[in-house]
Structures are given as C-alpha cells and as structure tokens.
Structure 1
Amino acid sequence: MHTLLPFLLAMVAVIVLLNMWAAKLKIAYPILLVIGGLFISFIPGLPIVRIDPDLIFFIFLPPLLFQACWTVSFKEMKKWWRMITSYAFLVVFFTALSVAVVANHYIPGFSIALGFLLGGIVSPPDAVSTGAITKFVKIPKSTTAILEGESLLNDASSLIIFRFAMVAVGTGQFVWQDAALTFLWMVLGGASIGLLIAWLFVQAHKKLPTDAPSDIAFTIIEPYFMYWIAEQLHASGVLAVVSGGLYMSAKRLIFLNSASRIRGYSVWESFVFILNGIVFLIIGLELPEIVSGIRSKGIPLSTAIGYGALITVVLIVARMISAYASMLATLIFRPGVLPQIRTFKRMLFTPLILGWTGMRGVVSLAAALAIPVTLDNGNAFPHRDLILFITFVAILLTLVVQGLTLPYIINRWRPFDAFMNEESEEATKKEMKRGLKQHVYEHVKEKYANEANPHAGVQLFMKQWEERAKANDEDLMSARTKEIFTEILEVQRQYLTVLNENPKIDEEVIRQQLYQLDLEEERLKII
C-alpha cells in the first residue's frame, strides 16, 4: 500500500501534466496518455497496476455514462434518434459480426464465439476520445448530436454482445430463443430500472433537507446504485444508468438548487477527467505485460501486431460502410430529415467524418480487462492474452491514426464551412436575451409597478429592465429587493424552459444562459 499509493498519486500528476501538454499541442489528451503510459511502463521498479475483472465495469462505466447524460442534448437526440439508434445497435452488431468472421477465418484457433467476444469488445467507439478530438475542429451540431447520442447507447449494445459471447465461449452453445428473451429483458428491464431509481432519487433530493455537498455526494453514488441494482436483476446496467441519467438531467432545475448545479459541475468535470485519465494511462501501462503473455503462448510479437492491425482495418472499414449505408438509407426513406445535405461535398464528407470518428478507448479496455482468467470449469480462458493485445492495438491505432488525422481532414478540406453559420448562433443568443429581458420587464411591470411605497430597489429594477441595462448600485439590494430579484431569476428559468421546446434553438445555448442565471443567484447571496 505504501508503494502503490504514491504511484497512484503520481499517475494523477502525470495525467494533469500530459493534459496540459496536449492542450498546448492542440491534440486530444487520450493520445498522449496512452503513449505516455506506454513509455512509463518501461521504467524499472514500478508496481504493477491490476484491477479485479469483476470490478472494472463497476468502477469506471457508471460515472462516465452518467456524466455524459448530463451534457448531451436530449432535444437533438430525439431529432436524430433513427440515425443514433442505427449506429448504436445495427452498426455495432455489423461491426462485431465483421470482426467475428475475419477473426475466425484468419486467426488460428479463433471460434465464431471468440470472434464475437472480440467484436463486442472493440466495436463501440469511445465518446471521450471523439469529444477530445472534435474539440479542436468545428463540425455541425447534427453530427455532434449523432456522435454524442451514439456514445450513450453503443456501450450497452456492445456489452450485450460481449455478455452473450462470454456465455457461448463458456458453455459451447448458444440458444437463440433464450438469447432473444434475455436481450429484451436486458434492454427494457435496464431502462425501466434506471428510470425508477432515478425517480426515487429525484424525490429524495426534493424532500430531504440537502445542501450542495450532500446533493453532489448523492449524484456520485446514484449511477453506481442504478448500475448495481440492474446488474443484480440481470438487466443492462449501462442502459439503467443512461435512462436514469437522462431523466435526472431533464429534471435538474427541479431538484437541484443553483449552488448544487454550479459546484456539481466542477466536481463532476474533475472526477470524470481523472477516471478517464487513469483508464487511458492504464492502457499504456498494461501493454508490456500483455506482450509477455502472448510470447509465453508462443505467438510472435509481429504476428500478434498483424492480427491487431487486421482487426483495426476491419473496424474502420465496417464503420465507413455503415456510415455511407446509413446516409443512403436516410436520403431514400427519410429525405426530409436532411434538408441541408444536398451538396455533393457534404454528402461525401458527412459519412466520412462519422466513419472516421471511430476511436476506441475506455469501454473496450474495460471489457477486455473484464475477461476472466479461467472458465467456470477451471480451464484457462482461450486466447485471453491475444484478445487483450488485439484490443490494445486497436485502441492505439485508432487513437493515433484516426485521432491525429481527423482534425487535419476537417481543417484541410473544410467540408462544413458552408453550414457552420456562427453569425446565426450569435443572432440566436441575442434574440434569446432580448426576449428574456422583455419577458422579465413585463413581469416586473405587471406585478410591482403599482406597489405602494415601492422600494428604491424595485424602482431600479423597473428602470433596469426597461433600458436593457444591468444595475451597478449594490447598496439598493435590500431583503425585499433580493426576494424580487430571486423571483425574477426563476421567471427567466421558466421562460428558457419553454423556449427550449423550440426545435430551432440550440439546447447548449439555453444551458449556458441557465448557468449564468445560477451564477447570478449565487452572487446575489453574498451581496
């Protein structure tokens, strides 16, 4: 313990330093973390970091998925739900099937079941890697929404494939009827359990006398409860976290106060950053040990690298085919959904970008490390080290090759320039704020204009909203003025909630304004 704890603290320091370096170089930090972990692993005398396979999913997945639910645009997910579900389920299954067929044909001793196991591990793209890379380029909101929505659901579909493949490898048989019923329960049961537990937690937040620290503590344990209870009932823990997280995200204004929302945002951002950093660093740290494992099985390193490169090519090609097939199907069956994608350049590049954003990462690593060392009968799990090595190669190659070239492709060819209208977004913000101020002014005028002996603060508010200007005289902030100001903030939140129902308004713009209102409310408390 005295040796491991300083090493873990040093890992966090390395994660922070590599992230700062990545920001300076303008590349995605997962790339540097993986490469940095690989170099660090060659330092002699370092302790070996091992995580219990039974705990790997439980430690990392729930909070990562839960936090993603709070940042994704649910409105955009509903708009693009057909394409999102096709990528999250059909594309994942097609990718896993492609990997299974190729692995069974080209890798000696790989059965179809083992191929599906490998396919389930490497089929889901990593949301963290994609988000970190696309941060340095400008892509349309629709493309971002599809990628974000896909990332929430593809983990569940890939892990369902993983679970079925594990059963097939362990028992040597696969009953389709039982699998179909199990699949339905995992999907429907997982979503229902997540929604029920989320509703219970929302009620707890509302009825218990919680403050910001306790609210934040609750949000940290909530995804673990959702995941654990769903898994205990043999449903999908991932879908439980996703459904529950989306529900709680939509209700955040109801059960969390401004202090909990502001402080929780910072806490969760740091918490998830450290979790992601540890996982990506472990990818590099574990690789030398996996290499020694495949060598002990008599597999030459060059051969194993060839297998990893082959599977990586299959992943990229399968996703590319799926991206163009999805675009073609949408244009044929739902042409009204894509009114702007009528130019040949964007029709060519949109599927290319969607297909090239298939970097693998956290979920693939967690699934690979979750493979048990032995089967239930005590025999060694077949090709476990090779599966781990192929997974590591796929993560490395997709992160480095696709991660480094994606910004270049977008910046070099600029396929979306004609559709990235920054002036339109700025105009939307101005129009929203103009409507917000007018709405507040009318509310104040109607309710307080005829109040007997109005406070100086009230008069100031009348003038403030009428002139569209912000008051600077804090001396007028009496208790009554603060009460009215707090009410005005709530009126603005209600206005923004209604405005968010407009499909033309970007939900991120609404969230930014809501965050500003939270900051205003917290500033008001200390005046």
Structure 2
Amino acid sequence: MHPMQLFELVIVMLLAIIVLHYGANRFGLPPAVALLAGGALFAFLPGLPVISLDPQLVLVIFLPPLLMDGAWFIALRHLRRHMIGIAALAVGAVVFTTAIVAAVAHWLVPGLPWAACAALGAIVSPPDAVSARAILQHVHLPRRLSILLEGESLFNDASGLVLFRFAIAAGVTGAFSMVDALQSFVMLAAGGALVGVAIGVLWVLTVKRLDDKYLMIAASLLAPWASYMLAESIHASGVIATVTTGLICGWYQHVVFSAMVRMNGTAFWAVMIFLMEAFVFLLIGSSLRGVIERVGGIGVVLDEMTLPILAILAAITVARFLWVFGSDAVIILLRAMGICGYKPLGPRSATVLGWAGMRGVVTLAVALSVPADFPGRDFILTTAFAVIIGTVLLQGTTLGAVIRMVKLVEPESDRPRMTMSEAEAAMAQAQVRVVEVHAYDGQGMLLHPRLLERYQRHAELSANYAAREEAFSDTLHAHFDLVLKAIAAGRAELLRLHRTGEIDEHTLQELERDLDLEELSALSAKA
C-alpha cells in the first residue's frame, strides 16, 4: 500500500471511530461492540484494501500504553489485598481454560494434534485487558470485583503467552515438559518484574529533575514502551514489566507531578488511550475479511468450522464459571475448616465475574503469530477471531444487564473507611491548621485576616456537611449551579471583550484558564 493511501485509510478510520462511538452513545451500546461491528462492515466495503495485521507490531504498538494506563490508575492497596484472587484468575483460570479448550477441540476435531489444541486453548484462554477496560468503564461494580477483573486482565497475558510458546514448541519438536514450563514462567515473570522496577525507578528519578511539563509527559509516554521492549529483548515478560512500571509510576506521580503537569498529562493520556482502544477494536473487525479469505472463504467456515467454534466458545464460558464457582466453593470449605480467612465472593459476584471474560487484541495477535506450517493454523485463527467477536458481542452487550439482574451490593468491609465529604473535612482541617500558624508574624500580629477567615470558613462548612450530608445536598447543588452560571456569564463577557478588540489573545487565554480551573473545581465539588 502506498504511504499516502495508508495515511488516507487512517483518516477514514478516525472518522469511523467518531461516528461509531457517537452512535454507540446515542443507542446505549458499549462502544467496543459498535467499533467491532463497524470494523467488520468496513472490511467488506468495495474498493478498500484487505487489512492484514503484523502480530508483533500490533502488540508492541497498542499493548504497552494500554497496560500502563490500567496499572497507573489501579488501587495498589486493594491490588495487594486481593492478589491471591487475582493470581488464581490470571494463572489458574488460564491453565484450567486451556486444558478444557484443548480437550474439547481434540474431541471435536480428532485430526488436530494435542499440541495444536493446547496452542488454541492458550490463545483464547486469557481475557483481554483492552476489552475489559472498554466494557467495565461503562458499568459500576463493587470495589473487590472491579479489582479482580482489572488485575486479572493486567497479568493473565503473561501466563497465556508462556503456555502458547510451549504448545508451539511441542508441536514443532514433539516434546513438552511441565517442569520446564513452570520454570520458564517464573523466570519470565521475575525478569519482567525486575525490568519494570528498574524502568519505574529511572522514570521517577528522571521526572524529578525535569522542569518542563512537556518533557515530563513525554517521559511518561516513553516509559511503557521502554519497559516492554527492554523486557522482551532479554526474553522476559514484557507484560509483567509494563504493569510493574505502571504501578510504580502511578504511585509516585502524586509527588513528582505538579497540578498543571497532572492536568495536562491526564488529558493527553485520556485522548490517546481512547483513540488506541478504538483503533484496536476497529482493526480487529477490519481484519475479518483477511481471516475469512485465508481459510478459503465464508463457505468453508460455515460448513466445516461452525460446530467446533460454537462448542469451543461454550467451553470457554463454562470453564470460567466452573473455575470461579469452584474457587469460591474451596474458599468456603477452607474457611469452615479454619484454614484461611479469605472471604468468598458469593453467587452474585461470582456470576458477574464468570460472565466478564471478553477477549480482544492479544488473542488475535497471538493467533496471527502461529507459524504458517503449524498443524490446524487456519482453524486456530478462525476460532480465535470468532471467540473475540462472540465474547465482545454477547458478554459485552449483556454484562450491564447481568449486573442489574443479580443486584450486586458493595460489602461493608470493602467500603472506604471515610466518605468523600469526611476526607474533604479532614483535608480542610489540615489546611486551616497551617494557615493559622503562618497567618501571624513573630509579634502575634495578624497578617492575613481574609485568608485565615476563608480557610476557617471552609473547614467549618466541610465539617458540617460531612456530619449532615443528606440535609445539605440540595442546597450545595443549587450553590454550585449558581457558581457555574456566574462562570458562564464571565466567559461570555470575556469573549465579548476579545471579539470587540478590547483585550488581546494573551489576556483572553490567561483569564479563560482561570475560569476553566474555577469551572472544573465547581463541577468536581458538585459531583
């Protein structure tokens, strides 16, 4: 494809993203579903080239920043608290699902070697971080369930990739060693974690010494790719490395970033991640045509592969439910025996966790990397693509309904010890204590009366609101609605002054920034 044609295609896809995302919002659909369906339709438009994805390039472009973004904002304390559950899903569920899929595939397609069946199982077993993020940001879950799903999606690709590599090696050489596979997984994870720590520490030390906000944001942009590519170059886990770097950066960004850097950086990352997630699903849908043509056409798929694909899709779903409910049953048994204090999820949360198993870009990229002469490659590729479409379309569109149906309730133990208003009151008390100390000079003369009055008033109001949140809620909303109206009036007058030539661009930008910060503060307080 000519470079100019490639650029035009990217522009067309960007336009498609805007249209499809807008349509999804208007009709109440998950954007991932609309983008996937739109990409599939896009693939068959006459005159457009067949889109073929380079699996390694897709992974290295999209996976590191998306993993980094997920790790950056995850609650580290809750991640540590639920690490056993996350490990059970990220490792145990992947291994269990791989075994179930391999058995079903070998039963339905007896001519497919066990190594190929295991490779297929490893490809489709890990739920995808990108798919999980795209779906979960449109539903509300209790904190524990959300952490389990986010943590699983961040770490499970590592175990799936290890299983895949050993299955491919077994198919080529005819030999497989479980001991070697376990040793390889430990070495990959440990090596990835060490690389992630090194890049994370280097990022913290570097950003501390940068005085330019754009350089700070650029360093943050570089970190995930540096971590992923360095780990992969020494044959460690790029996934673990990137997640580790993201956890470190997310923990220290509160102390190394100024408010302005954080605002600019967050805005930049939000737009970039939005576009990357959208492009991923659009590319997955757009690659449908190439996959179908590679296996011999839609007729071959319908005649020869429909039944096995549907059975494998069912096996994936059933295996996840078996693992989730089985793990919960084991926890209940161990608690009854007094061996562990880990609380079970319960049938409602287990149902949602079992249903939230969307696959995505990693599944497709790994399937595309299967060697051309590997047994059953066409069947593996087609099944992987069908699993992505099936899980995103079916589970992605119904997850919200399942959550509403089971009526999830946040357990008392998972709720934060302080409400937001109580935390704000504590923060206001800390601020007023500092102002009270420094508002007077050495002789006891009050130097900053208005500042002291302002902070004392804020502390008093915050304490009253925290004590009687329900009573003040309507009044507070009306207060900030009026503040927002005043800001809008100020902005209209500022624009009038600029349009009539009474102020210049610099004055407009400076005062408009003040209004923007005031508006953001009012919206945050109202929310």
Given the two structures, how large is their TM-score scaled by the length of structure 2? 0.81
Partner Cα separation in structure 1 for residue 50 and residue 445 of structure 2: 70
1:232 match: 233
State the Cα distance separating 1:410 from its structure 2 match. Answer: 2.2
Change in 2 beyond 3 A, CA 1:173/1:406: same
CA contact (8 A) 1:53 1:369 kept: yes
The 8 Å contact of residues 187 and 239 in structure 1, kept in 2 or not, is answered as: yes
| Corresponding residue of 1:430 | 421
- Bigger shift: residues 99-108 or 461-470: 461-470
Contact 1:56-1:366 at 8 Å conserved across structures: yes
Distance 2:217 2:259 in 1: 12
Cα displacement (A) at 1:455: 8.1
Q: Letter of the aligned partner of 2:175 in structure 1?
A: Q
In structure 1, how many angstroms separate the alpha carbons of the residues matched to 2:244 and 2:341? 25
d(CA) in 2 for partners of 1:337 and 1:176?
Answer: 31
5 Å matches for 1:127-142?
127-142=129-144
Distance 2:299 2:137 in 1: 43
Does the C-alpha gap of structure 1 residues 9 and 421 become closer, same or farther in structure 2, counting only changes over 3 Å?
farther
User: Partner of 2:390: helix, strand, or coil?
Assistant: helix
Report the equivalent of 2:392. Answer: 399
Which residue in 2 is equivalent to 1:100?
102
Q: Decide which moves more: 155-164 or 240-249.
A: 155-164
Match of 2:154 in 1: 152
Q: Which residue of 2 aligns with 1:381?
A: 374
Q: Which moved more, 1:128-137 or 1:41-50?
A: 128-137
1:410 correspondence with 2:403: yes
| CA deviation string 1:422-460 (max 9, x = no partner) | 9x879701111111111111122123334569786x322
1:498 corresponds in structure 2 to none
Q: CA 1:385 to 1:454, structure 2 compared with 1: closer, same or farther past 3 Å?
A: farther
Aligned 8 A contact 2:40 2:285 in 1 = yes
Aligned to 1:69, what secondary structure does the other structure show?
Answer: helix
- 1:363 Cα offset (Å): 1.7
Q: TM-score, normalised by structure 1?
A: 0.81
| Alpha-carbon distance in 1 for matches of 2:517, 2:174 | 58
Q: Which residue of 2 aligns with 1:515?
A: none
Give yes or no for the alignment of 1:466 onto 2:467. no
Equivalence for 1:5 = 7
Output aligned runs, 1:450-489, within 5 Å: 450-451=441-442, 458-468=448-458
- Pair 1:164–1:418, CA change in 2 (3 A): closer
Residues 179-190 of structure 1 aligned to structure 2 (within 5 Å) = 179-190=181-192
Q: Is 105-114 or 70-79 further displaced after alignment?
A: 105-114
* Identical-pair percentage: 33
Aligned to 1:313, the other structure's residue is in SS state helix
Question: Is the contact between residue 163 and residue 181 of structure 2 (CA under 8 Å) also seen in structure 1?
Answer: no
Unmatched runs of 5 consecutive residues or more in structure 1: 374-379, 472-517
- Name the amino acid aligned to 1:12: L
1:269 alignment counterpart: 270
Distance in 1 separating the partners of 2:5 and 2:15: 16
CA deviation after TM superposition for structure 1 residue 126, in Å: 2.3
Q: Distance in 2 between matches of 1:351 and 1:81?
A: 17
How many residues get paired? 461
Report whether the alignment pairs 1:311 with 2:312.
yes
- CA distance in 1 between counterparts of 2:229 and 2:266 reads 24
- Equivalent in the alignment of 2:434: 443
- 1:52 matched to 2:51: no
Distance 1:72 1:418 in 2: 18
Paired residue secondary structure (1:55): helix
* AA matched with 2:365: A
CA contact (8 A) 2:132 2:153 kept: no
Task: Give the distance between the partners of 2:157 and 2:434, measured in 1 at CA.
Answer: 46
Conserved? CA contact 1:126–1:360, under 8 Å: yes
CA distance in 2 between partners of 1:116 and 1:313 (Å): 17
Q: How does 1:27-66 map to 2 (within 5 A)?
A: 27-66=29-68
Q: CA deviation at 1:151?
A: 1.1
Structure 2: state its 5+ residue gaps. Answer: 462-515, 522-527
Q: Distance in 1 between matches of 2:130 and 2:179?
A: 36
Aligned equivalents of 1:5, 1:274: Cα separation in 2: 16
Answer yes or no: is the 8 Å Cα contact 1:53–1:371 preserved in 2. no
2:81 to 79, 82, 92: 79
Aligned: 1:162 with 2:164: yes
Contact 2:90 2:156 in 1 (8 A): yes
In structure 2, distance between residues paired with 1:433 and 1:174: 58
Per-residue CA shift, 1:149-185, capped at 9, x if unaligned?
1111111111121222222223222234433332221
Kindly provide the amino acid, as one letter, of the partner of residue 347 in structure 1.
G
- How large is the RMSD of aligned CA atoms in angstroms? 2.8
**Given the superposition, is the C-alpha separation of residues 147 and 301 from structure 1 closer, same or farther in structure 2, using an over 3 Å criterion?**
same
- Would the aligned equivalents of 2:432 and 2:459 in 1 still touch at CA under 8 Å? no
State the one-letter code of the partner of 1:20.
Answer: Y
Q: 1: CA distance between counterparts of 2:59 and 2:153?
A: 16
Q: Letter of the aligned partner of 1:396 in structure 2?
A: I
